Amino acid sequence: MKLTYPHMGNLYIVVRALLTSLGLDLVLPPPTSRRTAELGVRYSPEFACFPFKLNLGNYLEAEELGADTILMAGGVGPCRFGYYAQVQREILRDLGVDMEMVVLEPPDVGYRELTDKVRYLVGDCSWWRVVKSIRFAWQKALALDNVERELLYLRPRVLEPNSLEKRYRTAVEEIDAAPDSRAISRAVQEFFKTSRRMPQRQGRFLRVGLVGEIFTVLEPFANYDLERRLGRLGVQVERSIWLSAWINDHLFGGLLRVKGGLKHADRLASPYLNSFVGGHGRETVGGAVACALQDCDGVIQVAPLTCMPEIVAHSVLPSVSRDYGIPTLTLYLDEQSGEAGIQTRLEAFVDLMAARRRKGKGGMLDGSFSGY
């Protein structure tokens, strides 16, 4: 069996750590690219969400490299993600692509099914080894989040963002290659040490909260390198969702207490959105409130075009914006978004935040504008 799975930012490193230490043979798709998108778009329903299309592109590119089995997460709605695999399977079948799909459903469908599937994948590994592998992967997830937090903080500050990013990529590669937890922390420490020594600007920097649908937040290809663009515009990005939190919420059923977990966001959202609405809709609203409470200068919401939970969140964000006097920008993204348009909107939004800062947040500007 040659196993593959779709990309979402740095997730591949965490999953690779887990699966290789369980002795599985992996064939990873190349990083998501234009070509991935074109392949995915060609065979996907026109109004399926962007992550669906990119996933499909990932499978097809992995198949070219010899993968024969796809590992995919499931779900129980109402967000479409839970049914991706079912539709993707039909598409692959109609294309005559011979790939097996193993879909890991959340335990609500039944623990039995989950354990059976894990057994199918890992054969006769001992459960003890499985637990150890999970812990090892978890350490990598935390490490990746740590270096990325540092990157977001330093990006607007350092004089040479290019070399900071190069160091960051090195750190990520080292974490990916780390054979044990000692090597993981060494890679993190090394990045902290060298990056903090880089020449930096002084002063106060604009801070913008990034909220929205998880895949679009975590996958630079899907958000058109939004964080990188904002950093270059002198803005520090405060992310609302982190990889480790997502893994905890989705794979461990929220058992661990992780920084940036979702329960807190739900409480903050309740005056504006008093129900779970699937996906990350409620977290988006709660995250926006949290950003306002932490005195961010603005909030940017990113979502795939037609994303249902985010449309609900977007509908109520103007109320958050009004109550807290914080401007918001919503970007719906898909394969048709033009880079120039995104860059223009980000620059305009940064100018707007800077102008408000100079005015001491006085005059209330129109709190929300959206662009695609």
Partner 1 sequence: MKKVGIPRALLYYYFYPLWREFFTGLGVQVVVSPETNKRIMDAGVKVTLSEVCLPVKIFFGHVIALADDVDYLFVPRIIKVEPRAYICPKFMGLPDMLRARIPDLPHLLETAVDMRKEETDPFRCWENCFQEVGRLITRDKRLVEEATRRAFRAQQNFQRQLAAGLLLPQALEEGNTGEVEVAVVSEQSALRIGLLGHPYNLYDRYISMNLIGKLQDLGVSPVTPESLSVQDIENKVGSLPKRLFWTLGKRMVGAALNFFADTRLDGLIYLSSFGCGPESLVEELVARWAKQQGGLPLMLLTIDEHTGEAGMNTRLEAFTEMIKRRRIK
Partner 2 sequence: MDLFLGIDVGSVSTNLVLIDDRGDLYLNPLYLRTQGQPVAAIKKGLRMLQEILAPQDRICGVGTTGSARSLAGVLVGADIVKNEITAHAVSALREVPDVRTILEIGGQDSKIIILRDGVVVDFAMNTVCAAGTGSFLDQQAFRLNLSIEEFGRIALEADNPVRIAGRCTVFAESDMIHKQQMGHSLPNIVAGLCEALVRNYLNNVGKGKEIHSPVVFQGGVAASAGIRVAFQKALNMDILVPKHFNVMGAYGAALLSRDWITERGAETRFRGFEVVSCDFRPRSFICKGCPNACEVVEIRQDGAVLARWGDRCGRWGVADEKVEDAALSCSHPLR
Residues that bind partner 1 (CB under 8 A): 45-49, 74, 76-80, 82-87, 89-91, 94, 103, 272-279, 281, 305-309, 311-316, 318-319, 332, 370
157 to 196: interface string for partner 2, x by CB under 8 A:
----------------------------------------
368-371 vs 100-104, strand pairing mode = unpaired
Using DSSP, state whether 253 is helix, strand or coil.
Answer: coil
d(CA 292, CA 286) in angstroms, rounded, equals 10
CB of 284 to partner 1, least distance (A): 11
Nearer to partner 2, 323 or 339 (CB): 339
The item of partner 2, partner 1, none sharing an interface with residue 41, based on CB under 5 to 8 Å by kind, is partner 2
Q: Which is nearer to partner 1, 7 or 280 (CB)?
A: 280
Nearer residue to partner 1 within complex by CB, 231 or 286: 286
Residues in the chain: 372
Minimum CB separation from partner 1 for residue 196, in Å? 42
Which lies closer to partner 1 via its Cβ, residue 260 or residue 278? 278
Q: CA-based angle 286:287:293, to the nearest 5? A: 90
Q: Contact between 46 and partner 2 (CB under 8 A)?
A: yes
The runs of H, that is alpha helices, within the chain are 11-21, 34-43, 50-64, 81-95, 111-122, 127-154, 161-177, 181-196, 214-218, 226-232, 243-251, 263-269, 281-293, 308-324, 339-358
Q: Which does 339 bind (CB under 5 to 8 A by kind): partner 2, partner 1, none?
A: partner 2
Radius of gyration over alpha carbons of the chain, in Å? 21
In contact, 175 and 13? CB cutoff 8 Å: yes
Residue 100 near residue 5 (C-beta atoms within 8 A): no
197-226: contacts with partner 2 (CB under 8 A): none
The residue (of 7 and 53) whose beta carbon lies closer to partner 2 is 53
Is the Cβ of residue 127 or residue 276 nearer to partner 1 in the bound state?
276
41 binds partner 2 (CB under 8 A): yes
The minimum distance between CB 309 and partner 1, in angstroms, equals: 5
Beta bridge partners of 299: 209, 328
Structure tokens belonging to residue 61: 């590119």
Structure tokens at 18: 């887990």
Residues linked to residue 101 through DSSP beta bridges, in sequence order:
70
Instruction: Tell me how far, at minimum, the Cβ of 169 lies from partner 1, in Å.
Output: 35
Q: Which of 287, 309, 282 is nearest to 298 (CA)?
A: 287
For 269, the token pair is: 């959202």
Give yes or no for a contact between 342 and 230, defined as CB atoms under 8 angstroms apart: no
Site string for partner 2, 331-370 (x = CB under 8 A): ----xxxxxxx-----------------------------
| Nearer to partner 1 among residue 17 and residue 49 (C-beta) | 49
Using CB under 8 A, which of 23, 34, 271, 315 touches partner 2?
Answer: 34
List contacts with partner 2 (CB under 8 A).
Answer: 34, 41-42, 45-46, 335-341, 372
